[in-house]
């Protein structure tokens, strides 16, 4: 009986791996070269993509654990949300997953991992990291394409990517129609640049022992003080992987795509 259960489990796991591989294959491998620097990324085009049409763009920033140069790990969390058949039909969009090199970070921040949760000291004033600078350049290049709807450019990220989301909003406050920051953190003062321009939905787990949930509370409070109207979901039983709950929110994509960049 035990061998049969193990066999069934292996079949299920194998089927799951096949599905993941199929979903991943929908994202084309690309690289963006600027001078001597290269940013690896994956891109998902809508079904029946037509260059003469106009599509929303979603930029997704992964977490620290998915850094590297394989141009694959960045799809570990969140990519399947956009390959789901019903979502592709209801929300046709261009989805971009850049990959941060292992020795870099999306946000300019000092991370002290000797504490739990980690200690963070943001340094936006020093300018963007090389990885963030390349993301900005890639974004600028994409927005020049005729098939990109400039009024529907969105950014989302988790953990390190949530930190990158907040920083990117402060550096490009007039570009995005909406943003999603999951278990992230940032520089509260910078929210004044985008609080009234970009609708934001923040998510965090109350039991997060990697990135303190107080970081999201602080950013949401700063947005409110700056005149913004952010949405905030705190999951009482979630640890650092609050992205699982966020991705399962039925209203997430409808909310995201309902926002247009202010004219």
User: Could you tell me the sign of the dihedral formed by the alpha carbons of 4, 9, 12, 15, in that order?
Assistant: negative
Report domain 29-258's class.
Answer: alpha beta
pLDDT by residue (tens digit) across 161-181? 999 999 999 999 999 999 999
> Does residue 15 surpass a pLDDT of 60?
no
pLDDT by residue (tens digit) across 83-142? 999 999 999 999 999 999 999 999 999 999 999 999 999 999 999 999 999 999 999 999
H-type alpha helices, the chain: 2-25, 79-83, 85-90, 130-143, 160-171, 214-225, 243-247, 252-258
pLDDT by residue (tens digit) across 32-59? 999 999 999 999 999 999 999 999 999 9
Please state, for a pLDDT cut of 70, what percent of the chain lies above it.
91
Two tokens, residue 55: 């599509």
8 Å CB contact between 206 and 213: yes
241-247: average pLDDT: 98
pLDDT of residue 263: 77
The structural domains of the chain, with segments of one domain joined by +, span 29-258
Going by the DSSP 8-state scheme, the letter that residue 107 receives in this structure is: S
8 Å CB contact between 44 and 94: yes
User: Could you tell me the sign of the dihedral formed by the alpha carbons of 189, 183, 130, 139, in that order?
Assistant: negative
Mean pLDDT of the chain: 93
pLDDT of residue 18: 43
pLDDT of residue 16: 47
Distance CA 125, CA 108 (A): 9
Q: For residue 199, which of 226, 171, 231 has the smallest C-alpha distance?
A: 231
> Does residue 4 surpass a pLDDT of 90?
no
pLDDT by residue (tens digit) across 62-84? 999 999 999 999 999 999 999 99
């Amino acid at each position: 009986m035990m061998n049969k259960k193990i066999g069934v489990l292996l079949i299920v796991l194998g089927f799951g791996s096949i599905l993941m591989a199929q979903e991943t294959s929908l994202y084309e491998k690309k690289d963006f070269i600027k001078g001597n620097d290269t940013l690896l990324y994956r891109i998902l085009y809508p079904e029946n993509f037509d260059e003469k049409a106009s599509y929303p763009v979603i930029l997704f920033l992964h977490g620290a654990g998915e850094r590297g140069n394989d141009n694959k790990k960045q799809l570990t969390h969140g990519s399947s949300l956009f390959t789901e058949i019903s979502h592709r039909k209801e929300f046709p969009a261009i989805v971009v997953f850049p990959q941060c090199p292992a020795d870099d970070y999306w946000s300019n921040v000092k991370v002290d991992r000797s504490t739990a949760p980690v200690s963070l000291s943001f340094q936006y004033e020093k300018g963007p990291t090389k990885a963030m600078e390349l993301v900005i350049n890639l974004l600028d290049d994409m927005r020049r394409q005729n098939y990109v709807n400039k009024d529907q450019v969105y950014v989302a990220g988790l953990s390190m990517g949530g930190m990158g989301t907040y920083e990117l909003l402060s550096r490009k406050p007039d570009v995005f129609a909406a943003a999603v920051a999951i278990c992230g953190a940032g520089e509260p003062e910078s929210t004044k640049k985008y609080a009234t321009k970009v609708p934001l939905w923040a998510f965090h787990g109350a039991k997060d022992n990697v990135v303190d949930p107080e970081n999201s509370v602080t950013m949401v409070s700063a947005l409110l003080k700056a005149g913004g109207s952010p949405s905030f979901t705190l999951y009482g039983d979630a640890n650092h992987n609050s992205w699982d709950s966020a991705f399962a929110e039925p209203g997430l994509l409808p909310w995201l795509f309902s926002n247009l960049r202010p004219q």
